[in-house]
């Protein structure tokens, strides 16, 4: 029996069969159950809120009460705020750019990310929840939840995530699909969970859903096995149609998130995949992870079946 796996959390229904023991969450949490938006990034055992009200510093720039960088864009005529062409009017765009298309600029209702223009190895920085632009902002794409029709179905091996529109519409390159949500783990927690998986499951590529996102100066381990969202169901492919980028909702003490975008046009009923060896979009890490995969005793054979299949799943030595 098919039902909305998100339980109404997402703007659109995501159909799937019942998955026992799985709790759907719209945004990531710490392993103790606290939401990312309620704790500081530098202190997992803290409890101070990240985003509060907006103030202006001595130079006239917008800051939240705890130092979060924010713009103070407002509109009285309903126009889109914080667009790429308004860098002289929006502090956030002026500082960090806007690599999204303007609302209504294409026939597709979704704003598209210009993947070719996005600087490599740098985070995608959106306006923060502390900004005054609110729902009129053109720079908060990943904060609105899943807006694309998706379904969890049986794939060649296990479950997979599919693009399932009611109308035969192609999903354009650069479309935001979802966050990769789960439990944020320390390295020791991630290693402990990996060690607890049986050898048999490891050999068959089952049980480990942890994404180790390597960002400059930090590695974030995200485990969506028991708590997560649709990102959990994207399978690996050596020739993927999606890519992951880490995104920050403002610059300050907030946690980085991981966002999933299409890297080419997607046909209706097509399965969505990403390359586990290059999940963070940092190309220089791919060869390193693949080398670790061929030397590790815990490697798993790849079954993606594409023409570019490397033969082995990437293995992250951090685990």
pLDDT score recorded for residue 298: 59
Query: pLDDT band at 271, cuts 50/70/90?
Result: very high
Residue 310's contacts (CB-CB under 8 Å, 6 or more residues apart) are 238, 277, 290, 293, 302
CB 63 within 8 Å of CB 54:
yes
Whole-number percent of the chain with pLDDT over 90: 40
Among candidates 142, 137, 138, 134, which has minimal Cα distance to 54? 134
Structural element, H or E, at residue 266: none
> Strands 124-126, 242-249: parallel, antiparallel or unpaired by DSSP?
parallel
Residue 292's contacts (CB-CB under 8 Å, 6 or more residues apart) are 314, 315, 316, 317
Query: pLDDT band at 44, cuts 50/70/90?
Result: very low
User: Lowest-confidence range among 102-106, 187-191, 260-264?
Assistant: 102-106
> Strands 227-228, 235-236: parallel, antiparallel or unpaired by DSSP?
unpaired
Beta strands in the chain (DSSP E): 3-4, 15-16, 23-24, 29-30, 54-56, 62-64, 124-126, 150-154, 159-163, 176-179, 183-185, 211-215, 218-223, 227-228, 235-236, 242-249, 256-262, 271-274
- Report helix, strand or coil for 150: strand
Query: pLDDT band at 276, cuts 50/70/90?
Result: confident
Residue 96: pLDDT above 70? yes
pLDDT score recorded for residue 52: 29
Tokens encoding 82: 């914080």
Higher pLDDT, 83 or 288: 83
pLDDT score recorded for residue 54: 34
Distance CA 303, CA 235 (A): 10
Q: Give pLDDT tens digits for 170-186.
A: 999 999 999 999 999 98
pLDDT score recorded for residue 252: 67
Residue 268: pLDDT above 80? yes
Q: What is the DSSP letter of 134?
A: G
pLDDT score recorded for residue 103: 83
Q: Give pLDDT tens digits for 115-170.
A: 988 877 778 999 988 899 988 899 999 999 999 999 999 998 889 999 999 999 99
The residues that bridge with 139 in the sheet, in sequence order, are none
Average pLDDT, the chain: 80
Q: Give pLDDT tens digits for 205-236.
A: 555 678 887 766 677 789 999 999 999 999 99
- Report helix, strand or coil for 185: strand
């Amino acid at each position: 029996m098919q039902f909305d796996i998100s339980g109404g959390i997402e703007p659109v229904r995501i159909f799937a069969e019942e998955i026992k023991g799985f709790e759907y969450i719209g945004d990531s949490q710490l392993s103790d159950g606290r939401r990312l938006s309620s704790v500081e990034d530098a202190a997992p055992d803290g409890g101070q809120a990240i985003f509060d009200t907006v103030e202006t510093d001595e130079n006239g720039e917008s800051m939240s009460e705890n130092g979060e960088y924010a713009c103070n864009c407002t509109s009285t005529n309903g126009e889109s705020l914080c667009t790429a062409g308004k860098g002289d009017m929006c502090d956030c765009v002026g500082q960090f750019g806007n690599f999204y298309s303007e609302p209504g600029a294409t026939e597709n209702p979704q704003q598209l990310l210009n993947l070719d223009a996005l600087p490599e190895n740098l985070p995608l920085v959106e306006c923060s929840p502390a900004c005054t632009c609110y729902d009129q902002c053109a720079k908060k794409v990943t904060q609105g939840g899943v807006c694309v029709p998706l379904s969890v179905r049986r794939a060649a091996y296990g479950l997979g995530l599919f693009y399932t529109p009611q109308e035969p519409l192609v999903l354009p390159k650069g479309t935001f699909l979802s966050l990769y949500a789960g439990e944020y783990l320390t390295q020791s927690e991630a290693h402990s969970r990996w060690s607890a998986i049986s050898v048999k499951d490891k050999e068959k590529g089952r049980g480990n859903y942890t994404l180790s996102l390597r960002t400059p100066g930090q590695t974030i381990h995200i485990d969506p096995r028991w708590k997560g969202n649709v990102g959990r169901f994207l399978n690996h492919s050596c020739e993927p149609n999606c890519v992951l980028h880490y995104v920050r909702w403002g610059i300050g003490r907030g946690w980085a998130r991981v966002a999933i975008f299409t890297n080419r046009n997607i046909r209706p009923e097509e399965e969505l995949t990403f390359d586990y060896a290059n999940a963070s979009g940092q190309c220089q890490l791919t060869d390193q992870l693949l080398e670790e995969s061929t030397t590790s005793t815990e490697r798993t054979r790849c079954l993606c079946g594409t023409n570019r299949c490397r033969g082995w799943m990437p293995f992250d030595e951090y685990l």
